[in-house]
Structures are given as C-alpha cells and as structure tokens.
Structure 1
Amino acid sequence: MKLTQILLSQSEAGAETYFEKVAAAFATDPDFKQELIIEEQPSRQRRLDSAGVTYRTLPMGKISKPLLYNTRLKQHVSRFDPDVILTWVNRASRKCPPSNAVVIGRLGGYYDINNYRKCDHLIVNTPDLVRHVTENGWPADRVSMISNFGELPETLNVTDPLPEIPADHKVLLTLGRLHEKKAQDTAIRAMKQIPNATLLIAGSGELRSELEALAESEGVADRVRFLGLRKDVRNLFELADICLFPSRFEPLGNVVLEAWATNTPIVAAASTGPAWLIDHEENGLLFDIDDHAQCAEAVNRLLADETLAARLTEKGAQKFRDEFSQPVILQQYKDLFLRLAEAHRN
C-alpha cells in the first residue's frame, strides 16, 4: 500500500513531533511504501533523514512559496499516486489536493471540523474527541478513535548536553511549550515545598521570561532549569526520577505515554487527557488543576516511597504495552487504512 502523509507546519509542538514518530514507524513497515510532504525545515529534515524517512518538500522562500507552494503540493501527490493520504493539523487537511486516494484527517485537539471537509474519514486520539467531532456534525461512522503510542525512537533523538544536577538532588522533568495551558507555573510554585530536587523544564515559548521571574520570586530559581526546545527527550527521561505534567488543558498527553514507555513515575494534573489515561493510585498520581500544594504533596509522596513509585511505574508500563505501544497502535492504523482503501476502490 502507498501512503502519503502531509504536514504543513513549521511548529515543533506535540502534533508535529508525533507526526515524525509515526512517519519513522511506517518507514520500517514492509507492507507500506511511504512518502511525506512537508514544508522546507532543516531541523525536521535532518531528523527524518536520520530515521530513513522518504519525504518531499514545499518551498518556503519569500518568492518561491507564493509561486510554487501549491503547485508542488499537487505535483507531489499526483506523482506518488497514493492509496491513502493522512493529513496532519488543520492546514494540510484544508489544502489537500484532489487525488484518487482515500483522505484521512488526523485530529489531536478540539479543532474546527470545517477544516476537514476534504477528508473521507477522521482519526482522533481520545474518546472525548470522538464526542467533539460527532457533536459538531461529523458522521459517527466516518470517525475512528486511535490513540498515540509512547515509544521515543532512537533515530529521532538528538544529542544535546545534559544539565548538571547536584549530587543529592532528585530530578523532576516537565515537557511542553511554555504556554499558559501547560501550567509550568504550577510546577514552579510546587518547588517551594519539594526540597532537594531540581526541576527541568524542556520547551520553548513566549512565557519564558515570565516563568523565570516567577522562579526568582518563589525563591527556587537555583533549582529550576529552563532547557529550551529539546529533541533529546529519551536522554531527559533517563535523567528524571519523576515526570511532572501540570497541564491545565490537555486533550491526550503524549508525555504520560512517554513516561510509561520509559518506566518513569508520572504525576499529572487531572486535565481531560491525563485523567482519561491515568488510573489514580494505580499507574500514576493525579492532582487538581492549578493546585501546587497537591502537586508538591504527590511528588514528595513518590520521592519518599520507593515501593509506591515502583508499583505505579510497573502498572504504567503494563498499560502502555497493552494499549499504547507502537505495535498495538500501528496495527490499528494499518487495519483502518486497508479497510478504507478497499472500500474506496469499490
């Protein structure tokens, strides 16, 4: 089967990162001949090259983009002639050109489904997103719920220098763009009540100066490290004792799956996605959104109780293997692609 995946985005956020993971996984599957269509972006191209992924690019120059972007998009699709096109994020779904392929839009958030009118079918990654699209008029028989997998492919890992940590400190890791929704402020405020620990904040965004000022005012600046955008997530998880995920708003939460996949205990705010994924006290600990005192209490509890941390980690790893591992999720993708492509041909 021939598969085209289209991502028209310069962002390096969660959806784009997961796109790269799915592309790397399908690149190793002998049942699929895959080609990506992406915008020119050197950092993404280097990672895809490392993972052995075949891709075509669209020009982003001031002159070449308006002149050639849409034409090249049509040419790439027409020349490859795929059986299935998987579009990622709103823009790719809006701009997908006509073809003989079945077109599947992949949503990882509460987006306007008008962006997906060119799609024959939708894939969403949580039950609540099924509710979202069907309540907004999308036919229930044209949406499938396939969640994400948590593995961190070594081929996409980029080596960066790791921060130095005091010898007597535990390491807390939080990942995500520096945005109000991600609630890094909650984690910083919690640090006042978590002694002998260093918080690593991996991510870039407009709130960095504000969050740095908060760490200063809370008196924890010497124990909070802002790492910027990182693509060495595997290495950061290896360094971490606890993964801390304080998001106020999170449709799914890839970080939870990555923590389970790397055998890292997880403490998360009970936003929509983490509350669906995590069984409190079974495979992770949840705290109320914005409650930094509860957050600190949960972290301190895990740091003080190695038996509890080990049990939660083991149960998380088991749930990951059973429901959110790459073989499980990719098989669901493959089964859907085969079914829809056959129906489309007939």
Structure 2
Amino acid sequence: MIRLANIMAGARHGGAEAFFERLTLALHGAGDEVLPVIRRDPERAARLAEGGLPPFELRFGGPLDVMTRPRLGLLLKSYRPLVSMVWMNRAAAKTPGGPWPTIGRLGGYYDLKYYTSCDHLVGNTRDLRDWIVAQGCPAENAHYLPNFVSDLADAAPADLPGAAPRVLAMGRLHRNKGFDVAIRALALVPEATLCIAGEGPEREALTALARECGVADRVHLLGWRTDIGALLAGSDVFLCSSRHEPLGNIVLEAWSASRPVVAAAAQGPRELIVPNETGLLVPVEAPEAMADALRAVLADRAAAAGMAERARKAFETDFAEAPVLAQWRDFLHKVQR
C-alpha cells in the first residue's frame, strides 16, 4: 500500500492542479493512503472532501510567509508518509525533507533550483523528462509518467452559441494559449463559429481583436467552464492554438470525447499527435495554416471522424485512468520507503 503526502501549491485553475485532484482521488479510490496538502482554496478543498479526502490547507505565500514550512514540517512528522510529492515551485521550496523520499512532479520546464531537495523528478512528457536530464539530473532519478483525463465519451452536448460548425478552444486567456492566432484563423474560415472557454487577462484584448478582424459576431468567450465534456460534445472540432503547451490535457480531453483535433505544434501536442492519424498539426503562430486545417476537417467529415476514432483509441490505451494509475502506483511503490 502507498502512504503518500501529496502537496500542491498551485493556482485556483490549471491543468496541473486539475490532475493533482484526479490523481489524489484515484489513489484514494484504489485503497492507498493519501494526505492532500493544498494552498488555501475552498473550492478545491470541497472537491477533495467530497471525494473522501478533506485536505490540510496552508498559506503557501511569498517570502514573508514564515509559517507554512514549519507547519508543514509538523504535519509530515505526524503523518509519517512513506513518500511525499510536491507540485509547483512554491510547494517544492516550502516542503521540508524527512526520512522519506520526495518526488518533484513537473508539468513544465521549471527552474530546477526549487527542486534540489527532491530525490526524484517526474515529467509528464518524454520531452520534459529528457530536458530534466539535460539540466543535470541523473537519468535514474528522472522519470516520465503521463497524465490521465476523465472519460468524456457520454457527455450530453452543451448548447453552444452561434451557428454551426462550431470550433471549440479552451484554456486560460493568456498569450501563451494563442487565442489571438485562433481568432485570426477564424477570419479565414467564414462558415465557422469559435467558442473559447476560459478566463484571464487577455479577455479585453481578444474582444478587441475579434472586432478588428470583423468576426466579433462569430467569436464567443464563454468564461471559465467546468462542463468540458458537454462543451466538446457540442462542438465540431477542437482547436489547440497554444504557443507554449508542455503537455496539452485539453488535447487528451478532446480525444476522450472523440472530437477531431487541430493543434499548433507546441511541445506537448507535437509529442502527442501523430499527424493525419490522431490530429492535424500546424506551425505555431500560423493563422493561415490553422485555417487550412480547420477547413480540411470541416470539409471531409468522414476523414475527421476516422481521425477522432483513432485518437479515442490512443486515449483508451495510454491516457485513460486505469492504465495511467497503474503506472503511477507502480512507480510510487518502487520509490517509497
């Protein structure tokens, strides 16, 4: 049995934060002992408590927060984990060591100075694992373990705004997500509607860009949404326009929902997608190429359906909960002491 202290100091929303919750509850459901420790967040705490694991909440503040580390130290000393795992730089920096191994779980190309006390580092892509080794981590201490996403196959479709065909994009409204490129591409696909689910600092800029491109009536900003399966079920194609995307949980979610995917070839989508087999890849920062790919998917629905079916099989084999949880449990069993 695993006895894990799982420590997350991330933001309110995000792919790593969502996977932390899924993995924590899945390990608990498999019969393992897990102590979740989180940055104060009543919504995350409620979700974990609903799954049977009320978390321990700490501030995880900046340099003036001198209490989180000693409080966490006392908690770990009392809990006596066989292994601890830290998520995000702040958790790594504020988690004291002990007679148990510590794992640093990385979902991006973070500064490894925060993880010097970790015995093992885990990346969620092969490219990230190779990058960790290139930074000087011994190869035997660097590992690749994938994420899993929820199976969204049976979701009832949401009533998305605008006329069909509908292109769906999701993520924080941040420049890294490339939603400006998606809007410029939409201007070249006059028959389509673009729905963007997410919130963030780029909302006003994206609204202005849609007006500038003459597509304000075909771009709908939906705000932050949790009904991802319903959104995907209500769409015709999923678009990942990111300039920077270390993994791309959103691509995996689209695969699970059997939706054809068009993606900019950032790090994660480039590793996940077999071009013309499980999705279409286009260069980053290329609205013309993105528009061409969208038109191709919308023009040949049979080919798009075949691509989505192959992507669904890739999800079932490599990114569904059962196979990925088995890999995580095997790894944790091997490293804990």
Please report the TM-score for the alignment, with normalisation by the length of structure 2: 0.92
Q: 1:165 maps to which residue?
A: 161
5 Å matches for 1:1-346? Answer: 1-30=2-31, 32-59=32-59, 66=65, 68-151=67-150, 164-166=160-162, 168-341=163-336, 345=337
The alpha-carbon deviation at position 99 of structure 1 amounts to 2.2
Are the aligned partners of 2:60 and 2:90 in contact in 1 as well (CA < 8 Å)? no
RMSD over equivalenced CA pairs, Å: 2.3
The alpha-carbon deviation at position 24 of structure 1 amounts to 2.3
Partner letter of residue 237 of structure 2? I
Partner letter of residue 50 of structure 1? E
Counterpart CA distance in 1 for 2:51 and 2:257 is 20
Are the aligned partners of 2:60 and 2:94 in contact in 1 as well (CA < 8 Å)? no
Q: Could you give the per-residue CA deviations for residues 6-33 of structure 1, whole angstroms, max 9, x where no partner exists?
A: 0112341221122122122222111x11
The alpha-carbon deviation at position 100 of structure 1 amounts to 2.5
Number of residue pairs matched by the alignment? 334
Q: Could you give the per-residue CA deviations for residues 39-77 of structure 1, whole angstroms, max 9, x where no partner exists?
A: 221121222233333311114799xx9464333212221
The secondary structure found in structure 2 opposite 1:3 is strand
The secondary structure found in structure 1 opposite 2:117 is coil
Q: 1:111 to 1:59 in 2, by over 3 A?
A: closer
Are the aligned partners of 1:192 and 1:219 in contact in 2 as well (CA < 8 Å)? yes
- Of 299-308 and 278-287, more deviation after overlay is shown by 299-308
Partner letter of residue 135 of structure 2? N
Q: Could you give the per-residue CA deviations for residues 90-142 of structure 1, whole angstroms, max 9, x where no partner exists?
A: 11112112222221110111111111111111111112112211111111110
Counterpart CA distance in 2 for 1:127 and 1:60 is 29
Are the aligned partners of 2:169 and 2:239 in contact in 1 as well (CA < 8 Å)? yes
Counterpart CA distance in 1 for 2:231 and 2:28 is 25
The alpha-carbon deviation at position 228 of structure 1 amounts to 2.0
The secondary structure found in structure 2 opposite 1:231 is coil
- Of 115-124 and 226-235, more deviation after overlay is shown by 226-235
Counterpart CA distance in 2 for 1:225 and 1:21 is 29
The alpha-carbon deviation at position 178 of structure 1 amounts to 1.4
The alpha-carbon deviation at position 201 of structure 1 amounts to 1.0
The secondary structure found in structure 2 opposite 1:57 is strand
Counterpart CA distance in 2 for 1:61 and 1:148 is 27
Are the aligned partners of 2:165 and 2:192 in contact in 1 as well (CA < 8 Å)? yes
The alpha-carbon deviation at position 271 of structure 1 amounts to 1.3
The alpha-carbon deviation at position 164 of structure 1 amounts to 4.5
Are the aligned partners of 2:12 and 2:41 in contact in 1 as well (CA < 8 Å)? no
The secondary structure found in structure 2 opposite 1:27 is helix
Gaps of 5+ in 2: none
Partner letter of residue 333 of structure 1? W
Partner letter of residue 46 of structure 1? A
Are the aligned partners of 2:245 and 2:266 in contact in 1 as well (CA < 8 Å)? yes
Partner letter of residue 123 of structure 1? V
- Of 290-299 and 189-198, more deviation after overlay is shown by 189-198
Partner letter of residue 103 of structure 1? T
Percent of aligned pairs sharing the same letter: 38
Gaps of 5+ in 1: none
The alpha-carbon deviation at position 323 of structure 1 amounts to 1.4
Counterpart CA distance in 2 for 1:130 and 1:59 is 30
The secondary structure found in structure 2 opposite 1:133 is helix
The secondary structure found in structure 1 opposite 2:233 is helix
Counterpart CA distance in 2 for 1:251 and 1:57 is 28
- Of 66-75 and 297-306, more deviation after overlay is shown by 66-75
- Displaced runs of 4 or more, over 6 A: none
